[in-house]
């Protein structure tokens, strides 16, 4: 039976394919009592699954790339040990024998007992082993269900005709998809600028998030259409609908090919103003896509994704340095703006848990996030700063600091950058002494108190995703308030316009690197407000460039002034339409 689901469009285009459901195994387990005669065969089922996971871990160990971080091998060893541990194995078997729980139930019960026990442990390192146990149990449960332990396993039929359907995907898990080919994504949760959505967009494939109950209503292998332009998911479409969407898909592919003709032309408006279009990246290798798209540099390297795949510790200086150097070398002399770690809120790190109250923070988006966390961990922060500074020898590097609001935070940060330089001097290690330091303007207080920033920093970058979140007091990752997430709210537009105007007046370069920069419907508006530097995901670059090439700054002045003078939503929309028509 055909039916349609509605969600939030996050990555443009049309995808047609079969549903590939990713369910967290732990949420799905059956609970039932077995007959006494089934006890031994149930234990046998457990042993077989345990064996299978052993083979999986051995295969993972054997497949580790030579340059894989050394911790990877250690994690796999820890997981193998847990898989044999009596606390897990013997106790689970006892539950099967004494209570006659099916094995999945027994495992979940035992994990809960262990979790309670672990929560009481003082030692942070030991407490972190809880996550390892949960991951091992997850693997065993998947083995019992006949699925693979990996989130995505190419060997189990994932292929380029598949559309991933999940309740939610953590940003770190999303990174797995960078090496897999899928047609599209659908998730039950998420907002337009949640980090999961941003990574989905960075993969350049159609996606819809906040499609409530999608993972419950869509079955494995269902034929589905994802309309990433409108956030619509059509399940089991009628032939005529399928035909219509196939047609639209081929039209879009044609459109994309046509955009390629702009790739090598200079980016300037009809009146001759040069506009700089840069790329946002999450991993060093993404720099290739940046170069391919014709970007003039990297305007935002979200380094936290390097940290997120480190389950129990943060990467050492050498590993970070190698990653930053790689991105800088791939950009071949073009500037690379490296943002210091921005973790917290919807991008927690495993190593943040415990001790510091992060996990128990009532509102992590307002808590120890981004620079606040870095300043609370000066050792970690200095390590990152040294690694970034060292990479500056290999090209043009800029340092960008997220979430600054207070003068003393800026001063403390600049002091630490000076200290990192002194440490490198003492060790006789080279760096660019003139490396520029900039701030993200993403908290309303920062925009309003702009002189604090203009006086202290070399450049600014407006992070519209967070600026909208904090101006309108809505969680950008929460789909229940997604309808209130409005880039065109007059308060947001005024903060952006004010920042652009004041920075220009002070002669401080300013860019926009939030998702607004990559939305072609807003290009004219931003140009009219005076923006000359945009940074966006590479997949958006050519479509934004097309808008720049057809714009004339003088004719944008009046309609953009009208947008800024409007407060009623209809008036803002009407004025915006006039911006599009000039």
Return the range that interacts with ligand PEP (CB under 6 A); candidates 21-29, 157-165, 458-466, 524-532.
Answer: 458-466
Q: Of how many residues is the chain composed? A: 582
Which residue intervals of 449-552 are DSSP H helices? 450-456, 464-472, 490-506, 523-528, 538-549
Q: How far is the CB of 370 from Mg ion (least distance, A)?
A: 7
According to the binding rule CB under 6 A, does residue 465 interact with ligand PEP?
Answer: yes
Buried b (16+ CB within 10 A) or exposed e, 412-434: bbeebbeebbeebeeeeeebbee
Q: How far is the CB of 71 from ligand PEP (least distance, A)?
A: 25
According to the binding rule CB under 6 A, does residue 128 interact with ligand PEP?
Answer: no
513 is in the binding site of which of ligand PEP, Mg ion, none (Cβ under 5 to 8 A by kind)?
Answer: ligand PEP
Q: Which of 580, 10, 523, 552 is nearest to 277 (CA)?
A: 523
According to the binding rule CB under 6 A, does residue 92 interact with ligand PEP?
Answer: no
Return the range that interacts with Mg ion (CB under 5 A); candidates 100-108, 253-261, 360-368, 466-474.
Answer: 466-474
Q: How far is the CB of 97 from ligand PEP (least distance, A)?
A: 51
Phi, psi dihedrals of residue 303, rounded to the nearest 5°: -70, -15
Among 190, 514, 538, 559, binds ligand PEP (CB under 6 A): 514
C-alpha pair distances (Å), 508 with each of 120, 511, 527:
51, 10, 17
Among 297, 315, 444, 463, binds ligand PEP (CB under 6 A): 463
Among 13, 149, 284, 463, binds Mg ion (CB under 5 A): 463
Is 54 annotated as catalytic?
no
According to the binding rule CB under 5 A, does residue 466 interact with Mg ion?
Answer: yes
According to the binding rule CB under 5 A, does residue 515 interact with Mg ion?
Answer: no
SS (H, E, C) 105-134: HHHHHHHHHHHHHHHCCCCHHHHHHHHHHH
According to the binding rule CB under 5 A, does residue 442 interact with Mg ion?
Answer: yes
Query: Crossing angle for the helix pair 39-63 and 70-84, nearest 10 degrees?
Result: 170
Q: How far is the CB of 403 from Mg ion (least distance, A)?
A: 7
Return the range that interacts with ligand PEP (CB under 6 A); candidates 251-259, 311-319, 463-471, 573-581.
Answer: 463-471
Return the range that interacts with Mg ion (CB under 5 A); candidates 92-100, 138-146, 176-184, 461-469.
Answer: 461-469
> Which H or E run includes 361?
none
* Number of amino acids touching ligand PEP (CB under 6 A): 11
Q: How far is the CB of 440 from ligand PEP (least distance, A)?
A: 7
Q: How far is the CB of 346 from ligand PEP (least distance, A)?
A: 9
- The residue to which tokens 């490396």 are assigned: 435
Between 227 and 342, name the residue whose CB sits nearer to ligand PEP: 342
Q: How far apart are CA 162 and CA 18, in angstroms?
A: 5
- Residue 14 neighbours by CB distance under 10 Å: 24
Query: Crossing angle for the helix pair 538-549 and 239-259, nearest 10 degrees?
Result: 70
Site string for ligand PEP, 184-213 (x = CB under 6 A): --------------x---------------
Among 128, 282, 286, 442, binds ligand PEP (CB under 6 A): 442
Assess contact for 154 and 177: CB atoms under 8 A. no
308 is in the binding site of which of ligand PEP, Mg ion, none (Cβ under 5 to 8 A by kind)?
Answer: none
End-to-end CA distance of the chain: 46
Return the range that interacts with ligand PEP (CB under 6 A); candidates 289-297, 326-334, 460-468, 492-500.
Answer: 460-468
Is 195 annotated as catalytic?
yes
C-alpha pair distances (Å), 201 with each of 14, 207, 247, 281, 518:
13, 7, 22, 11, 11
42 is in the binding site of which of Mg ion, ligand PEP, none (Cβ under 5 to 8 A by kind)?
Answer: none
Task: Give SS3 for 175.
Answer: helix
- The residue to which tokens 């943040």 are assigned: 352
According to the binding rule CB under 6 A, does residue 11 interact with ligand PEP?
Answer: no
Query: Pick the catalytic residue: 195, 278, 310, 537?
Result: 195
Query: Crossing angle for the helix pair 407-427 and 378-391, nearest 10 degrees?
Result: 60
Would you tell me which residues interact with ligand PEP (CB under 6 A)?
A: 198, 300, 302, 342, 442, 463-466, 513-514
Query: Which amino acids are annotated catalytic?
Result: 195, 513
Would you tell me which residues interact with Mg ion (CB under 5 A)?
A: 442, 463, 466
């Amino acid at each position: 039976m055909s039916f349609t689901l509605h969600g939030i469009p996050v990555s443009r285009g049309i995808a047609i394919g079969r549903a590939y459901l990713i369910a967290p195994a732990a949420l799905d387990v059956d609970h039932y009592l077995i007959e006494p005669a089934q006890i031994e065969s149930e234990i046998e089922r457990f042993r077989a699954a345990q064996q299978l996971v052993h083979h999986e871990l051995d295969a993972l160990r054997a497949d580790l790339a030579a340059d894989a971080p050394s911790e990877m091998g250690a994690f796999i060893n820890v997981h193998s040990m847990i898989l044999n541990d009596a606390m897990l194995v013997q106790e689970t078997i006892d539950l099967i024998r004494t209570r006659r729980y099916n094995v999945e139930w027994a495992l979940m019960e035992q994990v809960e007992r262990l979790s309670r026990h672990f929560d009481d442990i003082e030692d942070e390192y030991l407490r972190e082993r809880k996550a390892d146990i949960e991951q091992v149990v997850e693997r065993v449960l998947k083995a019992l269900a006949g699925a693979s332990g990996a989130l995505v396993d190419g060997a189990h039929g994932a292929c380029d005709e598949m559309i991933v359907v999940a309740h939610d995907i953590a940003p770190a898990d999303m990174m797995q998809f960078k090496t897999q080919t899928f047609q599209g994504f659908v998730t039950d949760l998420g907002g337009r600028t949640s980090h999961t959505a941003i990574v989905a967009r960075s993969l350049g494939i159609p996606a819809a998030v906040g499609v409530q109950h999608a993972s419950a209503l869509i079955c494995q292998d269902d034929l589905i259409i994802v309309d990433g332009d409108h956030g619509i998911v059509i399940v089991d479409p009628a032939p005529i609908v399928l035909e219509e969407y196939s047609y639209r898909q081929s039209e879009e592919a044609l459109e994309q090919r046509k955009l390629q003709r702009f790739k090598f032309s200079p980016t300037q408006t009809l009146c001759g103003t040069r506009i700089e279009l840069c790329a946002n990246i999450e991993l060093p290798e993404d720099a290739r896509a940046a170069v391919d798209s014709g970007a003039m540099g990297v305007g935002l390297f979200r380094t936290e994704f390097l940290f997120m795949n480190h389950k129990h510790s943060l990467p050492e200086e050498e590993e970070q340095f190698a990653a930053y150097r790689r991105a800088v070398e791939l950009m071949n002399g073009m500037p690379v703006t490296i943002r210091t770690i921005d973790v917290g809120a919807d991008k927690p790190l495993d190593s943040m848990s415990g001790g510091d109250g992060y996990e128990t923070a009532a509102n992590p988006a307002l808590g120890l996030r981004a620079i606040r966390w870095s300043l609370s961990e000066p050792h970690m922060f200095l390590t990152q700063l040294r690694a970034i500074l060292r990479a500056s020898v290999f090209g043009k590097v800029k340092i960008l600091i997220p979430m600054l609001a207070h003068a003393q935070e800026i001063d403390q940060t600049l002091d630490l950058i000076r200290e990192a330089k002194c440490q490198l001097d003492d060790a006789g290690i080279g760096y660019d002494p003139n490396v520029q330091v900039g701030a993200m303007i993403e908290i309303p207080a920062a925009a309003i108190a702009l002189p604090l920033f203009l006086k202290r920093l070399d450049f600014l970058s407006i992070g519209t995703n967070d600026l909208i979140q904090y101006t309108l007091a809505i969680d950008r990752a929460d789909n229940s308030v997604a309808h209130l997430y409005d880039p065109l709210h007059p308060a947001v537009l005024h903060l952006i316009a004010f920042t652009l105007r004041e920075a220009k007046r002070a002669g401080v370069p300013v860019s926009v690197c939030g998702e607004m920069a990559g939305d072609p419907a807003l290009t004219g508006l931003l140009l009219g407000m005076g923006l000359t530097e945009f940074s966006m995901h590479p997949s958006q670059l050519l479509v934004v460039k097309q808008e720049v090439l057809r714009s004339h700054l003088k004719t944008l002045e009046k309609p953009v002034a009208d947008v800024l003078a409007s407060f009623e939503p209809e008036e803002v929309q009407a004025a915006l339409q006039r911006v599009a028509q000039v």
